[in-house]
Homo-oligomer: A and B are copies of this chain.
Amino acid sequence: MKNLSDASCPIARGLTCVGDAWSMLILRDASQGLTRFDEFRKSLGIAPTILTRRLATLTEEGLLEKRRYSERPPRDEYVLTAAGRDFLPVLVLLGAWGRQYRGEGRLTRYIDAETGEEIEPVAVDAVTGAKIGTRPIRVAAPE
């Protein structure tokens, strides 16, 4: 995939940073509190070469931040930045789609830690309050 990063479409822009499955799964795990190389590797069953690259890319793109947690031996962990944390809603919505259309068998559920109730994610337009997809959307050229 070429240079989508200068496209005028914000979706394409987003995809240049996180447009592959591994990156999204890393972000999912990071949102659950994983921070270390081996935690990700074991959780995902990913080859270390690829994990190295993905972590580096996500760090460059500003979704993760390397933080040294041990000087001797030198050890870094990867923590979410604000941009990384703000990616969570995309994942949650993707999960909601997956549950609805690929929900055969037992699936992990996401629970609101305060109420104990299962979360039911929806995308809405904050302006009108309408669910996204229920009203026609018009695409407008930049500026």
A residues bordering B, Cβ < 8 Å?
Answer: 1-2, 4-6, 8-17, 19-22, 24-25, 28, 32, 45, 62, 83, 85-103, 105-115, 117-128, 130-133, 135-143
- Taking A10-B94, A105-B142 as given, write out 11 further A-B residue pairs in contact, using a Cβ cutoff of 8 Å, ordered by the A residue number: A9-B95, A9-B108, A10-B96, A13-B98, A14-B101, A83-B101, A112-B125, A119-B127, A120-B127, A121-B124, A122-B124
Asked whether A86 lies within 8 Å of B108 as measured between CB atoms, the reply is no
CB distance from A26 to the nearest CB of B (A): 11
Asked whether B127 lies within 8 Å of A113 as measured between CB atoms, the reply is no
> Chain B contacts of A142 at CB under 8 A?
105-109
Asked whether B112 lies within 8 Å of A8 as measured between CB atoms, the reply is no
> Chain B contacts of A93 at CB under 8 A?
89-90, 93, 123, 132
Taking CB as reference atom, which chain B residue is nearest A20?
B20
> Chain B contacts of A112 at CB under 8 A?
125, 127-128, 130, 135-138
